[in-house]
Amino acid sequence: MPSADKAHNMRGEALAVRRARAVRAMMPPSPLLSARMMNSTYLRETVIVSAQKTSDKIPRTVSVSIGSGW
């Protein structure tokens, strides 16, 4: 069973970790990381748009006459 001092220290460490996470959440990412995230987002959006793009051409139909030929 942990001693009272050790338990208090563990709570203090957990509080420090939560504070550090909160500070990191408020800070913008580094320029390199931001560029990598944007590149990944751009690629994902481009692939989605390309997969959904439809053709602007008028569909061609083939006319076939079926007759007896007599």
- State the pLDDT at residue 3: 62
User: What pLDDT score does 61 carry?
Assistant: 76
Does 3 or 24 have the greater pLDDT score? Answer: 24
The set of residues, in sequence order, having a beta carbon less than 8 Å from that of 2 and lying 6+ positions away, is 10
Q: Is the pTM of this model over 0.95?
A: no
pLDDT value at residue 55:
63
At 27-68, the pLDDT tens digits run 777 888 777 777 777 777 777 666 666 666 776 777 766 666
| pLDDT at 7 exceeding the cut of 70 | no
Give how far Cα 18 sits from Cα of 13, 14, 36, Å. Answer: 9, 6, 26
